[in-house]
């Protein structure tokens, strides 16, 4: 089936967070929203048909995933990443962020440290703080037009330093791959080096791999836990079809926890607090994983075209802005620092002058100051209009 991603759907008045809250979020209804991470593309036809079929069955009682749902997760990991997982490792949650909240509590105690790699997806901050833990920043380093991990700094976060009293209380790292917001896909060697430092010093890796199937051409994702048995047994991997198949509103994630002790701790920590996903989430997950690849391949081709457009347009017509080297996710990390605007001025400039609603870079941490995050998962004509608006605004400075 050939999908038409150029078609513009009217998503207003559909309870869409992206399109239905423009006035509340950006102060104006004439802003083009390119912020929150959902796509302006309709879902794959097999997912839509599976949801319709299930909706026709007039019972919406308590639900539990059958073997087919978990089987689709197991098969997906094998097919996409050559990673063999056991069905009993899979735990379901209504989203990755709720799972991260549980995971941090499961591996730490109040007062412990949790390492983030800023600029970091901003909900990570509340994940750590609400647990009673504190944030340890292992900031990624800009090298040319891309970012690298700072392994020397990471070593200091987990090793016991000379003169320290007692063990290191930094218990885990929330490791995002591909990294949101910088769009960096960490290589197998980079991931392995990070894991050796963290696990070698007694830490746990909580891997947020929600964007792992949204990759630009030529890139391949390696799940952290697939690298070695040691990594397998000292990690919690958060996967979801929500970014891959545009299903965030159905709130379904599969959390892969091979270590039984960790899995039991996760399960007991969530008890009575975090519910299971709803039945339509399970239906959509299985349909996407089993039958959604034809749609996904076309989406990835379209996203690559959108990326190429942004890079060429900005290089030729708005050279003051720089596009960070992009490898994964559909969220671009744009450098506006050459405009000489402080954070509040840049925010006002984008919303009131350019009339384009992006995510403010400083919300991802101090190192995000002067940056904006752009969602390019939209029809190309909308993307072109947004770029023209930004160009016009920049030229007016």
End residue of a domain, out of 261, 291, 321: 291
Q: Per residue in 205-247, pLDDT tens?
A: 999 999 999 999 999 999 999 999 999 999 999 999 999 999 9
In a domain, 207, yes or no: yes
In a domain, 54, yes or no: no
Same domain for 69 and 23, yes or no, is: no
End residue of a domain, out of 291, 306, 328: 291
In a domain, 33, yes or no: yes
In a domain, 109, yes or no: yes
State the pLDDT at residue 168. 73
Same domain for 261 and 300, yes or no, is: no
Same domain for 114 and 196, yes or no, is: yes
Q: What residues make up the domain containing 304?
A: 17-44+293-395
CATH classification of the domain holding 329: 3.90.1150.10
Same domain for 26 and 101, yes or no, is: no
Same domain for 90 and 196, yes or no, is: yes
pTM score, whole prediction: 0.97
State the pLDDT at residue 163. 57
Count of structural domains within the chain: 2
In a domain, 1, yes or no: no
Same domain for 124 and 270, yes or no, is: yes
In a domain, 11, yes or no: no
Same domain for 140 and 94, yes or no, is: yes
In a domain, 65, yes or no: yes
Per-residue pLDDT of the chain (397 residues; tens, 9 = 90+): 999 999 999 999 999 999 999 999 999 999 999 999 999 999 999 999 999 999 999 999 999 999 999 999 999 999 999 999 999 999 999 999 999 999 999 999 999 999 999 999 999 999 999 999 999 999 999 999 999 999 999 999 998 766 555 567 899 999 999 999 999 999 999 999 999 999 999 999 999 999 999 999 999 999 999 999 999 999 999 999 999 999 999 999 999 999 999 999 999 999 999 999 999 999 999 999 999 999 999 999 999 999 999 999 999 999 999 999 999 999 999 999 999 999 999 999 999 999 999 999 999 999 999 999 999 999 999 999 999 999 999 999 9
Same domain for 337 and 204, yes or no, is: no
Q: Which of 40, 12, 30 is nearest to 356 (CA)?
A: 30
């Amino acid at each position: 089936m050939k999908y038409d991603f150029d078609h513009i759907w009217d998503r207003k008045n559909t309870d869409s967070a992206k399109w239905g809250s423009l006035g509340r979020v950006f102060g104006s209804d004439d802003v083009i929203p390119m912020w929150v991470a959902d796509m302006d593309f309709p879902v794959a036809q097999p997912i839509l048909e599976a949801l319709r079929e299930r909706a026709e069955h007039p019972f919406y009682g308590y639900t539990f995933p059958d073997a087919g749902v978990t089987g689709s997760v197991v098969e997906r990991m094998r097919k996409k990443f050559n990673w063999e997982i056991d069905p009993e490792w899979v735990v379901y949650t209504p989203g990755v962020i709720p799972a991260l909240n549980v995971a941090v509590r499961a591996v730490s105690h109040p007062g412990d440290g949790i390492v983030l790699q800023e600029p970091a997806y901003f909900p990570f901050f509340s994940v750590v703080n609400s647990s009673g833990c504190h944030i340890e920043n292992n900031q990624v380093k800009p090298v040319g037009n891309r970012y690298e991990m700072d392994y020397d700094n990471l070593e200091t976060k987990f090793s016991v330093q000379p003169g320290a009293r007692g063990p290191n209380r930094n218990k885990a790292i929330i490791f995002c791959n591909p990294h949101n917001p910088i769009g960096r896909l960490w290589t197998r060697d980079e991931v392995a080096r990070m894991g050796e430092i963290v696990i070698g010093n007694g830490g746990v890796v909580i891997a947020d791999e929600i964007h792992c199937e949204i990759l630009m051409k030529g890139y391949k994702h390696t799940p952290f836990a697939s690298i070695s048995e040691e990594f397998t047994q000292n990690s919690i991997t958060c996967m979801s079809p929500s970014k891959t198949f545009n299903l965030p509103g159905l709130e379904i994630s599969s959390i892969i926890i091979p270590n039984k002790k960790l899995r039991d701790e996760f399960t007991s920590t969530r008890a009575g607090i975090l519910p299971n996903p709803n039945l339509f989430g399970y239906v959509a997950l299985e349909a996407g994983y089993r039958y959604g690849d034809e749609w996904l391949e076309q989406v990835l081709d379209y996203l690559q075209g959108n990326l190429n457009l942004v890079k060429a347009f900005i290089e030729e017509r708005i050279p003051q802005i720089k596009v960070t080297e992009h490898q994964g996710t559909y969220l671009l990390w744009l450098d506006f620092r050459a405009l000489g605007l402080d954070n509040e001025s840049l925010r006002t400039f984008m919303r009131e002058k350019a009339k384009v609603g992006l995510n403010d870079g400083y919300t991802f941490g101090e190192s995000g100051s002067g940056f904006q995050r752009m969602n390019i998962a939209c029809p190309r004509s909308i993307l072109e209009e947004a770029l023209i608006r930004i160009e016009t605004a920049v030229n007016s400075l």
